[in-house]
Structure 1
Amino acid sequence: MKQAYKTTTTTILLLISAIFVTAQTNISGVVTDKHGEPITGVNIFIEDTYDGASSDDEGRFSFRTTENGKQVLMATFIGYKSWEQEIELSAEVHVQIELQESVNTLDAVTITAGSFTANDEGRASVMKPLDIYTTPSANGDVMAAIRTMPGTQASADDGRLLVRGGDVYETATYIDGLVAAKPYYSKTPDVATRGRFAPSLFNGVQFNTGGYSAEYGQALSSVLVLNSTGKAENDNTGISLMSIGGEANHTSSWDKSSLMLSGGYVNFAGYDKLFNSNIDWVKPVESVNGTAVFRYKPRSSGLFKAYFTTDYGKLAYNVPAGSDSNPMKISNRGITVYSNLSYRDCIFDKTCYRVGVSATFQDQKTGIGADDVDTREWSVESRFAVIHDLSEGIKLTWGANETSHLYNQDYIRAEGENYTGEFDDHLFGVFVEPEIKFTKNLAIRPGLRSEYSSVINKWNVAPRFAVALKTGENAQLSAAWGMYHQTPQPDCLKLKTDLDFEKATHYILSYQFGNVSERLFRAEAYYKTYLDLISHSAGENGLPTNLQNTGNGYAGGFDIFWRDQKSIKGFDYWITYSYIDTKRKYKYYPEKVTPEFISDHTFSVVGKYWVSKINTQIGMSFTAASGRPYNEPNSNTFNGERTKMYSDLSLNFSHVFYLGNHYSVFYCSVNNVLGNDNILSYRPTGIADAHGNYSLVPVKRDLKRMVFVGLFLNF
């Protein structure tokens, strides 16, 4: 019986094997591109099965399958559209497969006109986040590092971004797509400020010098978009000991969330004693700050970010006011609180969204001689954006935002007169912007934005358009055009609300060649026109009067950028040059002239060399700029004089060492190594002598030579 059972079982197995053999179908063919050239490594398979093969060097493939009837044969390969065809399985099937290039390949065209990206993944990146820390002249300030990019002014006496002829208020800053209403510490006359946000919070920076997306508004010249880091993966404790203060932080990481807490203290009193300052300090800069960053990742496509930071600072100094024996005291103290909550996720495979809200509160008390100015501002923005991948080459982004801005200022005169200025504005904006890639070599991005401001009771409509054409393997042309609007500034709205939006129109043409990780060359020409700028007359007590939208102007020029990370091992450098021709009539200007913050020519070079044997990086940055206009009160020509050329050579070095498994850094930098006594501008004292002539006070940097030393420890 056992022998019979064994024989029967064997017979059945042989019969089943024979059936499978006779039922198998051989599928073969050739895979080529549209030019008939064979493609190697294409994955060819029957849908929902494991039956398949890869194409060889001649594009040929062959495999067998036991499936039968009608089936779907598929072919996939990176950089090409997926191919599929229904086939009827028989003893022999032969197919000819022609793959079409995908418009979303890694080397596809990218719209870059007016945009400089700094991140670790972006193909259009010209900087990395680490560059912000290692640029010698930046001293860890995002804004200072961005000022080494073309299109910006040196502005050593200001510290804020001045972009392509635009005033400081014409650049807007966003964090994770939400507005940061106060991105700088408080600005007082003759003293430069710096950015409020630490570079370590961000893994991406996009600096738009013009022609930017319809998603953003309320900026006539430029947008700076900071993308914060995601969930921390490891626990970490850091202590920073610096020549100007200290900071401590701790990060805890869990399975789906992380929390970082930090606090810092800064005091420049020691510098005032050690170095010969150009500022007559009464109270050198002193501040404290605290930050909390929470991240929660409920699933792979979702991420919640919460960011909270606050700082309090104060300073006081004397400035000449017509008599060395009777200077005027300027003081400032205040608190700023900023919070940012955002969440992003995907509804479907091809539809994702971003929602968030940001809030800024600032209370600043400024003393100007015997007068006091108390300014309180609240700004809250809510925003959402939806991104649809409508097809392989079409992406549609649309969304809306609402910003509430409350402003209140009390001007208390020593003589007992008080002035109060206040307003309440609700700004509502909507936008829609498709990006269409016709091929991997041609893409366009039309957009439309519209806004309504309640304080001026006006609507605006701003069409925008960008196009990019790939002209070679590593070369492309980009162009952009757009209209941009901005609500008048608080200093105007507190006095008069019967005004209109200020307007600008951008025209940009850009050429880029090279590989961002090796060598990159970029040249960009631009032209901007300004309309309806706010003009006014000088009223009593320095308050503007007769405010009207009668100002106008233009700005045109070109920027050149070159970066080389390959020619010399361990050596990385970039060179920028900018030329600008600009004039405008706005504010109190009696005629159209070049503004006092403009240098026609600006040249910058940054170099860094990594010495691997001693884990040390040596850095150098040099900036030179032609003289800036200034107004000589005793002259008949407004802004008819020029300062001498500005130059600055800065050096730094960073030494990396380890405490256990954690790296730490010893850092040292020296700004203006050569000690050039740069005169950045001239400011009139405001008091005439016995002959009716006004004297001018030269404006210089606080310290002729700034030395910074820091020890950054991680545990």
Structure 2
Amino acid sequence: MSTRLILFFFLLMSQHVALTQTTISGIILDHKGKELPGANIMIKGSYDGTTADISGKFSFETSKEGFQILLIKMMGFKAVETVIECTGGEIEVGNLTLKEEITDMNAVTISAGALEASDENKAVVLRPLDIVTTPSAMGDITGALQTLPGTSTVGNDGRLFVRGGDASEVGIYIDGLFVGNAYGSRVANVPTRTRFNPNLFKGTFFSTGGYSAEFGQALSSALALSTKDLSVRNQGDLSIMSVGGGYSHTFSSEKQSITASANYFDLGPYQSLINQNFDFESPANGWDFEVASQKKLSKGGHLKALFRTEGGGMELWQPVPGVEGRGVRIKLNNDYTYGQANWSNFLSNDWTMFGGVSYSRNVDNILYDSLKIKNTGETLHAKTYGIKDFSDRISMKLGLEFFRQNYSEALPNENLQRNFKDNRIFAYTEWDWYLSSKLVFRTGLRAGSSDLSSQLWADPRVSFAFQISDASKVSLAAGTFNQMPVENFRVLNPNLANSEAKHLIANYFFQKEGRTFRAEAFYKGYNNLVTFDGNQMDMSNLQNEGEGYAQGLDIFFRDQSTIRNTDYWVTYSFVDSKRQFDQFETQVQPSFAPRHNFSLVIKHFITNLNSQIGFSFTANDGYTYTDPNLNGEMNSKTKSFQNLSLSWSYLPKPNLIIHLACTNVLGRENVFGYSFSQTPNEDGVYVSLPSGQVAPRFLFLGVFLTLSKDKTANQLNNL
């Protein structure tokens, strides 16, 4: 009897459970109305649920009763919750639509005009390791960037020239803060370098046009360098080179690190062994001292500081066309100081804040024959901005900047001086509109004012990108860019206004399985360029009356996977540039804008020998110049520029690196232009002298030793 009673109650309970089971079914669709397989559907707070099938349909049972929350989730889409009432039987919820969620993983990025080297998910082009191992660069940041699309190699200058613009049109920033006099001072066709070591940086953003509203005072390009975060270990690095030596030491802890370095170079011993084309009285020499510090703050904040001071100089004789003898003696002594500090943090309500200040001071003491000249420039830059993510589809950046610039030119023996001071204020805003994970628009506006010129201006900018496939995208960018004239113009005429450039850029980008392809067409129109009467030594009547254009096409291909242990990239840039500027009365092709530019870089690692060999070849079709013996302006052209460079890096021990490099291995006699006598000789001919290379080739040997508890650590760990 008891057994029958227990069985009766069991059957009764089973019938009750069966009566309270609820079947839930429906279809999951995406924002375009297409079926979405793989979505997860569940009763919130329970284990009851299922996964949508290949047609987006789902069906499952639950024993839950009453009002419940049905949760639908899928990666890349916003989760959806809907309330249902479980009373037994069947519930058909119909079509449930998931909206796309924009994240860093799936959002398309704008690449028009930009070459990223800091975000591995974007167009990785050059890392610090790429820079120091590019043979023709000799460890110089701009030297490596000259192998990228949009740039031109001007061998007797060394600075960055981008898409028909001169070197002053490139703004250089460290952690978003402007760097005044970022290149070493130069004289008499001796090329210069950037002042900062690539080991200092973790990434590079190089824009060849159409860049963010955050950056201004640059007509052609913005080069933004990001310093490294916390160092991972205590270590010392000793460098012994054919041109000098140095030592740096890093102290690191869990929340902060500091690196101090000192270097000295003197080309005297090297030039005594290697013949030079220039007549040096005193070869280039110099020293530098640098401190970089990083600190983690509470609540996710970061504080960074950088200080650098350096000094150096050279003395040489510059021959004068048509005049016998060694020519004019030129002596340069330079002192430079740069410092900056910046703070960043993530705040509540999806705000990211940044604030920083930088200061640079450059002093050039020049002796030109018997004339003493002293040029002093100071730049103070203060900047703050905030980024607000209103949702995964709308993001805003809002910023303010202040520049204070002082510049003076003096003749100490004559007690003469001219100078100017200018305060400039900028405000900018930029909005990113993610219409989907495949389509994004960016709108920006930058406005500024100058006390000195009593000028106000505004620069609108817009860009968009569309993801064609997982591996490719297209983007467009357009905008207006203003820049104050260079200091030696403004000190002569403080009323000079901004020069202006308008950019239009179309970009195609492809990246897959270690291969990158990039093609970009561009047009840049110039207005209000500075013109003057006379020549560079005797400028008068400076005005904003020049104009011009630059247009062309860039092609870039990089392959890191096809050939084992080999990385190579190929670049071709075509630039059609004409402008009326400086002393020219008509629109001419500038000497710094070759029409055809080509470069090939190959790096191959030989595992058995613990070595990397490097090969780089750079060429262009030559430089224009004015021959006064002929009619017209910029009426002649040099033969093509060609430079084949090789390098070899060897690791005999994990903490020891030996690096050997040679530029212009074939010893080609590259000519960058000609200087002519001021008056014709008795035959009515203006005598000329070529402007060429300092030496047929340059050879570098360096030994780099790392001292730390980790015996496998070396200077490559910093790159």
TM-score, normalised with respect to structure 1:
0.91
SS of corresponding position for 2:269: helix
1:353 aligned partner:
353
How has the CA–CA distance of structure 1 residues 284 and 67 changed in structure 2, closer, same or farther, with 3 Å as cutoff?
farther
For residue 377 of structure 1, report the CA deviation from its aligned partner. Answer: 1.3
Does the CA contact (< 8 Å) of 2:553 and 2:574 recur in 1? yes
SS of corresponding position for 2:82: strand
Does the CA contact (< 8 Å) of 1:137 and 1:650 recur in 2? yes
Cα distance per residue 1:123-173 (max 9 Å; x no partner): 122233321111111111111111101111111111000000101111100
For residue 417 of structure 1, report the CA deviation from its aligned partner. Answer: 4.7
Q: Does 1:543 align with 2:538?
A: yes
Bigger Cα displacement from structure 2, 94-103 vs 506-515: 94-103
Does the CA contact (< 8 Å) of 1:160 and 1:193 recur in 2? yes
For residue 90 of structure 1, report the CA deviation from its aligned partner. Answer: 5.3
2:37 aligned partner:
39
1:336 aligned partner:
336
**Counterparts of 1:396 and 1:138, CA distance in 2:** 38
**Counterparts of 1:198 and 1:52, CA distance in 2:** 59
1:612 aligned partner:
607
Does the CA contact (< 8 Å) of 1:353 and 1:384 recur in 2? yes
For residue 360 of structure 1, report the CA deviation from its aligned partner. Answer: 0.3
How has the CA–CA distance of structure 1 residues 545 and 570 changed in structure 2, closer, same or farther, with 3 Å as cutoff?
same
**Counterparts of 1:384 and 1:264, CA distance in 2:** 33
**Counterparts of 1:227 and 1:66, CA distance in 2:** 57
Cα distance per residue 1:560-600 (max 9 Å; x no partner): 11111121121111111011111111111122111111211
How has the CA–CA distance of structure 1 residues 64 and 258 changed in structure 2, closer, same or farther, with 3 Å as cutoff?
farther
Cα distance per residue 1:241-268 (max 9 Å; x no partner): 1111111111111121111111111111
1:676 aligned partner:
668
Aligned residue identity for 2:700? F
Q: Does 1:431 align with 2:428?
A: yes
**Counterparts of 1:451 and 1:708, CA distance in 2:** 45
How has the CA–CA distance of structure 1 residues 422 and 37 changed in structure 2, closer, same or farther, with 3 Å as cutoff?
same
Aligned residue identity for 1:610? F
Cα distance per residue 1:4-35 (max 9 Å; x no partner): xxxxxxxxxxxxxxx99999988777655455
For residue 373 of structure 1, report the CA deviation from its aligned partner. Answer: 1.2
2:114 aligned partner:
115
**Counterparts of 1:85 and 1:146, CA distance in 2:** 54
SS of corresponding position for 2:291: strand
Aligned residue identity for 2:496? L
How has the CA–CA distance of structure 1 residues 636 and 231 changed in structure 2, closer, same or farther, with 3 Å as cutoff?
same
1:440 aligned partner:
437
**Counterparts of 2:72 and 2:694, CA distance in 1:** 66
1:498 to 495, 499, 504: 495
Cα distance per residue 1:90-115 (max 9 Å; x no partner): 56777665433333363432111111
Does the CA contact (< 8 Å) of 2:180 and 2:378 recur in 1? no
Matches within 5 A, 1:178-257: 178-257=177-256
1:8 aligned partner:
none
SS of corresponding position for 1:613: helix
How has the CA–CA distance of structure 1 residues 497 and 272 changed in structure 2, closer, same or farther, with 3 Å as cutoff?
same
2:74 aligned partner:
77
How has the CA–CA distance of structure 1 residues 119 and 685 changed in structure 2, closer, same or farther, with 3 Å as cutoff?
farther
Bigger Cα displacement from structure 2, 528-537 vs 95-104: 95-104
1:366 aligned partner:
366
How many equivalent pairs are there? Answer: 690
2:418 aligned partner:
421
**Counterparts of 1:201 and 1:52, CA distance in 2:** 54
Aligned residue identity for 1:526? F
Does the CA contact (< 8 Å) of 2:43 and 2:49 recur in 1? no
SS of corresponding position for 2:137: coil
Q: Does 1:141 align with 2:136?
A: no
How has the CA–CA distance of structure 1 residues 89 and 555 changed in structure 2, closer, same or farther, with 3 Å as cutoff?
same
For residue 418 of structure 1, report the CA deviation from its aligned partner. Answer: 5.2
1:623 aligned partner:
618
Superposition RMSD in Å: 2.7
Matches within 5 A, 1:258-337: 258-299=257-298, 301-322=300-321, 323-337=323-337
For residue 382 of structure 1, report the CA deviation from its aligned partner. Answer: 0.3
1:580 aligned partner:
575
TM-score, normalised with respect to structure 2:
0.90
For residue 506 of structure 1, report the CA deviation from its aligned partner. Answer: 0.8
SS of corresponding position for 1:220: coil
SS of corresponding position for 2:488: helix
1:456 aligned partner:
453
How has the CA–CA distance of structure 1 residues 273 and 43 changed in structure 2, closer, same or farther, with 3 Å as cutoff?
farther
For residue 615 of structure 1, report the CA deviation from its aligned partner. Answer: 2.3
Does the CA contact (< 8 Å) of 2:151 and 2:163 recur in 1? yes
How has the CA–CA distance of structure 1 residues 370 and 76 changed in structure 2, closer, same or farther, with 3 Å as cutoff?
farther
**Counterparts of 1:522 and 1:624, CA distance in 2:** 20
Does the CA contact (< 8 Å) of 1:78 and 1:105 recur in 2? no
SS of corresponding position for 1:587: coil
2:564 to 566, 569, 590: 569
Bigger Cα displacement from structure 2, 158-167 vs 693-702: 693-702
- 5+ residue gaps, structure 2, are 1-15, 708-719
Identical residues among aligned pairs (%):
34
2:645 to 620, 625, 650: 650
**Counterparts of 2:396 and 2:697, CA distance in 1:** 51
1:10 aligned partner:
none
**Counterparts of 2:345 and 2:62, CA distance in 1:** 40
Q: Does 1:708 align with 2:700?
A: yes
Does the CA contact (< 8 Å) of 1:178 and 1:357 recur in 2? yes
**Counterparts of 1:22 and 1:670, CA distance in 2:** 86
Does the CA contact (< 8 Å) of 1:321 and 1:687 recur in 2? no
**Counterparts of 1:189 and 1:74, CA distance in 2:** 73
**Counterparts of 1:393 and 1:455, CA distance in 2:** 41
Does the CA contact (< 8 Å) of 1:157 and 1:190 recur in 2? yes
For residue 307 of structure 1, report the CA deviation from its aligned partner. Answer: 0.7
**Counterparts of 2:541 and 2:408, CA distance in 1:** 21
**Counterparts of 1:637 and 1:374, CA distance in 2:** 36
2:524 aligned partner:
528
1:695 aligned partner:
687
**Counterparts of 2:692 and 2:48, CA distance in 1:** 73
SS of corresponding position for 1:125: coil
Aligned residue identity for 2:339? S
For residue 514 of structure 1, report the CA deviation from its aligned partner. Answer: 2.8
How has the CA–CA distance of structure 1 residues 116 and 43 changed in structure 2, closer, same or farther, with 3 Å as cutoff?
same
**Counterparts of 1:696 and 1:103, CA distance in 2:** 63
For residue 326 of structure 1, report the CA deviation from its aligned partner. Answer: 4.3
How has the CA–CA distance of structure 1 residues 105 and 423 changed in structure 2, closer, same or farther, with 3 Å as cutoff?
closer
1:479 aligned partner:
476
**Counterparts of 1:122 and 1:462, CA distance in 2:** 30
Q: Does 1:665 align with 2:665?
A: no
For residue 71 of structure 1, report the CA deviation from its aligned partner. Answer: 4.8
Bigger Cα displacement from structure 2, 395-404 vs 234-243: 234-243
**Counterparts of 2:61 and 2:304, CA distance in 1:** 51
Aligned residue identity for 1:493? R
Does the CA contact (< 8 Å) of 1:201 and 1:228 recur in 2? yes
How has the CA–CA distance of structure 1 residues 63 and 242 changed in structure 2, closer, same or farther, with 3 Å as cutoff?
farther
Does the CA contact (< 8 Å) of 1:110 and 1:124 recur in 2? no
**Counterparts of 2:401 and 2:394, CA distance in 1:** 24
Does the CA contact (< 8 Å) of 2:188 and 2:318 recur in 1? no
How has the CA–CA distance of structure 1 residues 82 and 411 changed in structure 2, closer, same or farther, with 3 Å as cutoff?
farther
Cα distance per residue 1:292-326 (max 9 Å; x no partner): 11111113631111011111111111110242414
Aligned residue identity for 2:637? R
How has the CA–CA distance of structure 1 residues 318 and 63 changed in structure 2, closer, same or farther, with 3 Å as cutoff?
farther
**Counterparts of 1:237 and 1:695, CA distance in 2:** 55
How has the CA–CA distance of structure 1 residues 188 and 63 changed in structure 2, closer, same or farther, with 3 Å as cutoff?
farther
Cα distance per residue 1:316-368 (max 9 Å; x no partner): 11110242414111111121111111111112252111110010011111121
